[in-house]
Amino acid sequence: MSLSKLIGARGEAAADDVPAKRERRKEARPKELLDAALDLFVEKGFAATRAEEVAVRAGVSKGTLFLYFPSKEDLFKAVVQENISGRYAEWNQEFVDFEGTSADMVRYCMKVWWDRIGATRASGITKLMISEARNFPELAAFYQQEVINPGKRLIRRILQRGVDSGEFRAGMDLEYAAYAISAPMIFLIMMKHSLAACAPEDYPLDPERYVMQQADVVLHGFCAKPEGTDR
């Protein structure tokens, strides 16, 4: 599938109910509002999204929106929080349980990153956070702590596992290697929600193929073969 085909592909919905107070409030809050807001914020940015548009798309009146979210800014924060709340634990576990080479782990990591985030509506959050970070520093800090850093730690663990097993080069700089893995994902996601959305014909790219290819490229550099990729 090409990147241009992916654009506008709406994804799944999360259907987990049951306990916890936070959970309950989240349930009670019209999920439709957060859904509508996510779409619009991603598409038009925070400032250009009008509160009424969100309400209308969610099928309620303007007043109702403010019944649930005291302000547009609060709505924005809720959208981000709602959508980044952890499926991390679950995903993380997969890697704890993972059996196979560390190279496969890296490939798997990139693949699921794309499948579960990049290819779904969740990628909108990534785009949103990066686009609006300077306007919402507080939220950016939260995102950094709750999303970026855990993700980074996961990647580090994978890389460390490769180094420990002798599969990856001993001297490799884990910090830099982590970025090598992230960059293609972030790049793809940002493009999907910006320029590629405006001119799909200029981005005849199959993201999955690109991701797998990039996985191979970076692994090339990681592997404990003769010549180093690093200078």
Q: Is residue 64 close enough to count as binding DNA by CB under 7 A?
A: yes
Distance CA 133, CA 90 (A): 27
Compose the 108-147 pattern: x for residues touching a copy of itself by CB under 8 A, - for all others.
---------------------xxxxxxx-x--xx-xx---
| Binding piece for DNA, criterion CB under 7 A, among 21-29, 77-85, 86-94, 127-135 | 21-29
| Between 21 and 231, CB nearer to DNA | 21
Q: By CB under 8 A, name the one of 44, 50, 87, 153 that touches a copy of itself.
A: 44
Q: Is residue 205 close enough to count as binding a copy of itself by CB under 8 A?
A: yes
Taking CB under 8 A as the criterion, which residues in 50-89 touch a copy of itself? Answer: none
Taking CB under 7 A as the criterion, which residues in 79-138 touch DNA? Answer: none
Q: Where are the alpha helices (DSSP H) in the chain?
A: 3-6, 21-28, 31-48, 51-58, 62-68, 72-84, 88-96, 102-112, 123-132, 137-143, 149-164, 174-192, 195-198, 207-222
Closest to 146 measured CA to CA, from 80, 193, 73, 97: 80
Taking CB under 7 A as the criterion, which residues in 160-189 touch DNA? Answer: none
Distance CA 154, CA 44 (A): 32
- Give the pair of three-digit tokens for residue 183: 């960059």
Distance CA 184, CA 209 (A): 12
| Between 14 and 195, CB nearer to a copy of itself | 195
216 binds, among a copy of itself, DNA, none (CB under 5 to 8 A by kind): a copy of itself
Distance CA 180, CA 6 (A): 23
Nearest distance from C-beta of residue 130 to DNA, angstroms? 21
Nearest distance from C-beta of residue 8 to DNA, angstroms? 13
Distance CA 62, CA 75 (A): 13
Q: Which residues bind DNA (CB under 7 A)?
A: 19-23, 25-26, 28-29, 49-52, 60-64, 66-67, 70-73
